[in-house]
Amino acid sequence: MLAVHLDSWLREFGPRQYEKVRADSVAQLLDVLEQRYPRLRFKIRDETGRLRRYVRVFVDGEDVSGTTGISTALSGHESIDILHSIAGG
């Protein structure tokens, strides 16, 4: 089981604390979260299923957003942190 933690902005739409999820990939993990919390849909991924530009996914502390992204395998990992950065000026 993976421990999934969302940042404070995303927690408005999903779990308030850590969520325990079984998943083989980041894509599957996001599918599970969106099924459990429908309000998360389109907050982390866009309409094509790709990560939104300002979303970062950390697998055991390593940012996979710009590398393997949602295809990242989760076997042997323990924690996932999903952060949504705020842009502005």
Per-residue pLDDT at 66? 87
- CATH number of the domain to which 25 belongs: 3.10.20.30
What's the domain count of the chain? Answer: 1
In a domain, 30, yes or no: yes
- Check if the beta carbon of residue 61 is closer than 8 Å to that of residue 30: no
In a domain, 7, yes or no: yes
Output the tens digit of pLDDT for each of the chain's 89 residues.
999 999 999 999 999 999 999 999 999 999 999 999 999 999 999 999 999 999 999 999 999 998 999 999 999 999 999 999 876 66
In a domain, 41, yes or no: yes
d(CA 15, CA 77) in angstroms, rounded, equals 20
Half-sphere exposure of 4 (CA within 13 A, CB side): 25
Q: H or E stretch including 43?
A: none
In a domain, 89, yes or no: no
Query: pTM for the whole thing?
Result: 0.91
Local structure of 73: helix, strand or coil = strand
pLDDT tens per residue, range 33-42: 999 999 999 9
Domain hosting residue 7, numbered range: 2-84
